[in-house]
């Protein structure tokens, strides 16, 4: 016997408890029994594999050589469980004693270009969230810093953790704030990927070209794709399945 779960909708989905119903053939009596406790299922966005957005810097295209950045450029990122081969000098003994699990400090190279993904949540559609997740996860899984921002502000704790990126984007909801202010205050450097259904936004990000090495606009709106200003690559899609081919052809 199988019990389908409602995973077609992104976000937090309440599941359970399981209710079994027993009834007599004549429908005169019925018995209900609950099994288990209610839980919350987090349905993440869909993603497709994409190459890391090039920033004009060779090491951004090739990716970091290891999980540990070169000496002199490292910055502490997070704590994680020890895995075989980790440098024992990075063990965080206080956290290890508190949790009962060997924990190590994870460092990232602060000099690596960042991929900033700016998601326009006005008129939000699932392909838009999926496209933003795909671009952010591509950079995160390659070991590069990632910032995910909406008109309401940055999503916390995205950095280089692809799993956290997906968890945060699973909860994004339609908003009323545009991305103009978020774009103005976004820290420059690396690549900027704007995902929007508003054709006018492709023109507004032209000013950001001076602050980023590469600017990409993923347009998921209806109608023909807007013409991007000089220095802005426009990637038009109507569904997530179109993104890999459109992304690679630009």
pLDDT tens for 116-145 read 999 999 989 999 999 999 999 999 988 888
Residue with tokens 């969230």: 129
Is the pLDDT assigned to residue 73 strictly greater than 60?
no
Q: CB neighbours of 19 closer than 8 A, spacing ≥ 6?
A: 32, 33, 34, 35
More confident residue, 194 or 62: 194
- Report the C-alpha gap between 160 and 150 in whole angstroms: 18
Rounded CA Rg of the chain? 22
Kindly indicate the confidence band of residue 56, based on its pLDDT and cuts at 50, 70 and 90.
very low
Cα 151–157–162 angle (5° rounding)?
Answer: 100
CA distances from 162 to 80, 125, 152, 159, 235 (A): 14, 21, 21, 8, 23
Mean pLDDT of the chain: 83
Contact present, 54 and 87 (Cβ < 8 Å): no
Looking at residue 75, its pLDDT comes to 58
- Report the C-alpha gap between 225 and 203 in whole angstroms: 12
More confident residue, 41 or 69: 41
Half-sphere exposure (CA, 13 Å, Cβ side) for 187?
8
Looking at residue 70, its pLDDT comes to 40
- Report the C-alpha gap between 39 and 104 in whole angstroms: 31
């Amino acid at each position: 016997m199988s019990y389908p779960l409602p995973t077609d909708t992104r976000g937090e989905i309440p599941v359970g408890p399981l209710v079994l119903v027993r009834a007599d053939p004549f429908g005169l009596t019925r018995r209900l029994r609950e099994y288990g406790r209610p839980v919350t299922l987090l349905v993440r966005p869909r993603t497709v594999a994409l190459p890391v957005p090039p920033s004009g810097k060779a090491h951004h295209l090739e990716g970091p050589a290891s999980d540990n950045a070169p000496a002199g450029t490292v910055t502490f990122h997070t704590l994680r469980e020890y895995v075989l081969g980790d440098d024992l000098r990075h063990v965080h003994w206080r956290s290890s004693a508190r949790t009962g699990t060997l924990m190590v400090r994870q460092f990232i190279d602060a000099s690596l270009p960042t991929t900033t993904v700016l998601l326009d949540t006005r008129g939000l559609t699932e392909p838009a969230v999926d496209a933003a997740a795909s671009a952010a996860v591509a950079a995160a899984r390659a070991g590069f810093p990632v910032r995910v921002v909406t008109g309401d502000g940055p999503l916390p704790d995205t950095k280089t953790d692809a799993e956290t990126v997906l968890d945060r984007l699973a909860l994004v909801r339609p908003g009323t704030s545009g991305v103009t202010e978020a774009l103005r205050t976004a820290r420059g450097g690396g690549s900027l990927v704007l995902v929007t259904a508003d054709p006018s936004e492709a023109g507004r990000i032209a000013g950001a070209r001076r602050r980023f090495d590469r600017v990409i606009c993923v347009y998921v709106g209806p109608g023909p794709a807007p013409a991007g200003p000089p220095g802005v690559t426009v990637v038009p899609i109507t569904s997530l399945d179109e993104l890999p081919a459109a992304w690679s052809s630009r």
